[in-house]
Structure 1
Amino acid sequence: MNKLKLNIKDTFNKELPADPVTDNTRRQVKEACFSFVTPRKTSKPELVHVSDEMLLEIGLTTDDAKSETFLQVFTGNEILENTQPYAMCYAGHQFGNWAGQLGDGRAINITEVVHKGNRWALQLKGAGETPYSRTADGLAVLRSSIREYLCSEAMYYLGVPTTRALSLALTGDKVLRDVMYDGHPEYEKGAVVCRVAPSFLRFGNYEIFAARQDDKNLKVLTDYTIKHFYPHLGEPSKETYIKLFNEVSQRTLEMIVHWQRVGFVHGVMNTDNMSILGLTIDYGPYGWLEGFEYGWTPNTTDAGTKRYRYGNQPNMGLWNLFQLANALYPLVGEAKPFEDVLNQYKLDFEKKSLEMMRAKLGLVAEEPSDVTLTAQLEDNLQLSETDMTIFFRLLADFNVEQPQNGLSGVHKAFYSPDELDDERKQKWNDWFADYAKRLKREDTNSMERKKQMNAVNPKYVLRNYMAQLAIDAADEGDYNLIEELYQLLKKPYDEQPQYDKWFAKRPEWARNKIGCSMLSCSS
């Protein structure tokens, strides 16, 4: 038992094949799921923030978090007793192209714990080089670490399937980064985030074995996945592998529909960033829709093709599942079962997307006309730059008896109200009239509808400019804004009048500021 009294129950590095080479050198790792590595020691670690919720989830207390042992363990300076840290081996398709071996280049798994029947893998991001770091240093900076820490927890409280975050710490070391990949690198503060999830397995973990025609280890890893995370599917067999793929497909779709609901754009949906558990994973150049725009992507690397734009995320989920199907195919030997699941994904997306939009509009019953109503709304939202979060939150106060006042009721959501000329106003007024007629056919009153709508339309999300303000303050040694945003985002659907200043459109100064609009993959 270690000093932190964690209930350690390692499985990944005990039940799966390990890399026999123990040198921490960059290389191609064959016939192994991981490589043992030791986190890099930091010169002057300092704890910035700890998630009190996650502490309890893994079986620790706030007193534990104040201990020197906690600081040293979760910055990589001490290894927990009876554990062997490791980095996972996986491959992936990046921006549609096969990239070969990738792996945990700056993430090191320190252990797995079980508490109250839940399994949690603890992973340090920014803990140093691994055999998969390629030409990189395996480190992370405070800027990207704050973004990951806050967003992981914010997404959880929004009800979006996600990995979590336990702690955020400074390392005391400087890290060289070229933030916009424009040939102007600068030194930044180094940091480490402890990420937490039942598992960090990705589609790429299976792809690498399939690509290398290593069916033996592909089966070992897939059977391990079923045993620990999908035991309800039954003992491994061809039928069970198809059931596994089907459930991964369903979970992936559910996750993406949630993204669309709250206006989240992942920014880099490569297959190595897709969780086998259907969790949002790897918070890099993500962003939140400010103006409602299907074509928006926060990722500078993706600015040309906009492959991972907001409106294309469901299609990218399908594309990535197709790659996972190819990876699992050797275990089944038949294409049709996989094709059936993929075809069902297409049908389910249309259905679940419409269900999601009905919920956002406060509609309970199903009517064929809802397809037209929601499509017209989405068109109208793009007539002029319209803040998605504010619009849907204000829409909950819509008065069905006065549809002519609908536009004034959501006025705060428009970035440039002057752009609403007579033609655009007419389109909006027509829509509000149709919306009022539709709501009158519902069996709910205005108070019930408002409550239902406010339960799915958040008032607060982690807008990029908010994260950037916290980053700028933290860079000066002030962590108060991190704490304020952490508390705010715990209750994103509540009114929280004390935080009303955050229920606001992106300020103009943030429109084109680095970190507030477009971000790079190092973000």
Structure 2
Amino acid sequence: MKLNIKDKFNVALPADPSLENTRRQVKNSCFSYVTPKKTANPELLHVSPEMLQNLGLTEADSKSETFLKVFTGNQVLPNTKPYAMCYGGHQFGNWAGQLGDGRAINLFEVEHNSQPWILQLKGAGETPYSRTADGLAVLRSSIREYLCSEAMYHLGVPTTRALSLALSGNKVLRDVLYNGNSAYEKGAVVARVSPSFLRFGSYQIFAARQDNETLKTLVDFTIKQHFSHLGNIITPETYLEFFKEVSELTLDMIVHWQRVGFVHGVMNTDNMSILGLTIDYGPYGWLEGFDYGWTPNTTDKQHKRYRYGNQPNIGLWNLMQLANALYPLIEDVPALEGVLEAYKTNFDIASLSMMRSKLGLRTEVDGDKFLVQDLEEQLHVTETDMTIFFRNLSDFKKDEPFNGLKAVEDSFYMPKEVSGAIEEKWNDWFQRYATRLEQEPFSDEERKEKMNTVNPKYVLRNYMAQLAIDAADKGNYKLIDELFLLLKQPYSEQSEHQKWFSKRPEWARNKVGCSMLSCSS
């Protein structure tokens, strides 16, 4: 197994001088050296062929003993020094102080075809940042992370990636819903891959400690490694441009989340990538019924801070915290506020543009905003499956507006509710939609083709992931591969997999893992 290893993060940045793997406050350092925990009986369950290729590896490499050992934490490659990153963060709006990689260990950095990648193990043991936890991961959460990160990539959503999924061979004690019912589960390790795992909290921790020297060192490193187009000479204006780009990347990521109906579930500042990538797949979920108020996170059940409709606002709030962290380097409040104001304006523009694309509208007309708003109101009136609705909307014929409901009828959970005044409002909306489509210089077929490139047919619905988890708990891992292959082509018809293009089954409505998830999920 040959990898072009080019470590930078743990070479250029200040390291924790202590080599003890004990829980502690780590000061003036960006990371701590730590060795992954060896496992009892590791077993590789799945490997992503695309990520193998991205790293310059082959299928034969993935079947080697070295691959298994390295990506389960049982072997450290020569001339590499694994480490856990130090960072802080706001959790549910409150400053939590030092957090850090509590169950993630970065192995090394690889460069292939001029693209840098950091390889990281999730669930490979405790670190100085594990607090009261064990640093391990269970199979259910690992399956969810592995499948979702690769599924999001193929949906066109900015995301971290996954290389492999493995059983550790150990049992791990977990309380799924934090309700006092702990049980032992299969332990697992996911090899995660990203150009960087830096997050907003990486900068916040140094600003909070008034350690401006380390803050500047880290920001300079980030710009040189990941925003080098901003120039070699770094000034306060460079820092401002850096913040502006992070804001734009964050906006783009969240617009994509809204487009496909993805809810992150725990948008704490330590879970926000500096590169605008979806990171830390914990209690995430996919909208079944279109609902701005839905959150998959049981911890967030009362206040619903991270609900689907609030994700754009939380993106702004988190950027405000990053602005506060970067202020010592910029010292220009109006300029920082200008970037945040631009986020608000640009998000409205980008969101409307995204909804136009979902409706097959390629031109801009003044009334589009109201057409979209009225549609979203209608989608809330009766439980309507988001994915099926928008996918089947592409079958709408603009010269047959009163057949609109027929085109999308499969998306309604309670079809009998779509009657009387509700039916009239739908027919009115379809008539307006048909009139609007007359202003588009495209045929119904051309519109359908375009809509089907932005409205996926297949997403990783919560019940689908749970079925794979239930089967894996019994030693059957075939469904992991089936879903992995299905989700590589989310916009294709794949008629042989039509069973997955269906509404959430009723048994999954209130099932743990389908509708209720915690940060341990």
TM-score, with normalisation over the residues of structure 1?
0.99
- Residue type of the alignment partner of 2:43: E
Rounded Cα–Cα distance in structure 1 between residues aligned with 2:223 and 2:212: 16
**Which residue of 135, 138, 157 corresponds with 2:135?**
138
**What residue number does 2:239 align with?**
241
The offset of 1:333, in angstroms, is 1.3
Deviations 1:7-61 (A, max 9, x none): 0000000000000000000000000000000000000000000000000001100
**What residue number does 1:202 align with?**
199
**Which residue of 324, 327, 334 corresponds with 2:325?**
327
**What residue number does 2:111 align with?**
114
Rounded Cα–Cα distance in structure 2 between residues aligned with 1:237 and 1:261: 37
**1:25-44 map, 5 Å:** 25-44=22-41
Corresponding position: 1:165 with 2:186: no
**1:240-389 map, 5 Å:** 240-389=238-387
Rounded Cα–Cα distance in structure 1 between residues aligned with 2:275 and 2:466: 30
**What residue number does 1:11 align with?**
8
Rounded Cα–Cα distance in structure 1 between residues aligned with 2:41 and 2:235: 51
Aligned residues: 520
Q: Which runs of 4+ in 1 moved over 3 A?
A: none
- Residue type of the alignment partner of 1:323: Q
**Which residue of 432, 444, 449 corresponds with 1:451?**
449
**1:390-469 map, 5 Å:** 390-469=388-467
Rounded Cα–Cα distance in structure 2 between residues aligned with 1:471 and 1:387: 23
Rounded Cα–Cα distance in structure 2 between residues aligned with 1:155 and 1:332: 34
Deviations 1:363-407 (A, max 9, x none): 011001001100000000011000000000000010111100100
- 3-state SS in 2 of match to 1:486: helix
Corresponding position: 1:220 with 2:221: no
**What residue number does 2:149 align with?**
152
Rounded Cα–Cα distance in structure 2 between residues aligned with 1:237 and 1:59: 37
- 3-state SS in 2 of match to 1:356: helix
Q: Which runs of 5+ in 2 are unaligned?
A: none
**What residue number does 1:126 align with?**
123
The offset of 1:421, in angstroms, is 2.5
**Which residue of 491, 504, 508 corresponds with 1:493?**
491
The offset of 1:420, in angstroms, is 1.4
**Which residue of 181, 185, 205 corresponds with 2:182?**
185
- Residue type of the alignment partner of 1:332: I
- Residue type of the alignment partner of 1:220: T
Corresponding position: 1:516 with 2:514: yes
- 3-state SS in 2 of match to 1:382: helix
- Residue type of the alignment partner of 1:420: V
The offset of 1:447, in angstroms, is 1.1
Rounded Cα–Cα distance in structure 2 between residues aligned with 1:459 and 1:421: 27
- Residue type of the alignment partner of 1:306: K
The offset of 1:332, in angstroms, is 1.1
- 3-state SS in 2 of match to 1:410: helix
Rounded Cα–Cα distance in structure 2 between residues aligned with 1:278 and 1:73: 28
Deviations 1:256-291 (A, max 9, x none): 000000000000000000000000000000000000
**Which residue of 476, 479, 482 corresponds with 1:478?**
476
TM-score, with normalisation over the residues of structure 2?
1.00
- Residue type of the alignment partner of 1:478: N
Q: Which runs of 5+ in 1 are unaligned?
A: none
**Which residue of 70, 74, 81 corresponds with 1:73?**
70
Task: Name the Cα RMSD after superposition.
Answer: 0.4
Rounded Cα–Cα distance in structure 1 between residues aligned with 2:216 and 2:399: 61
Rounded Cα–Cα distance in structure 2 between residues aligned with 1:459 and 1:332: 45
Rounded Cα–Cα distance in structure 2 between residues aligned with 1:491 and 1:387: 20
**What residue number does 2:43 align with?**
46
- Residue type of the alignment partner of 1:171: S
The offset of 1:241, in angstroms, is 0.2
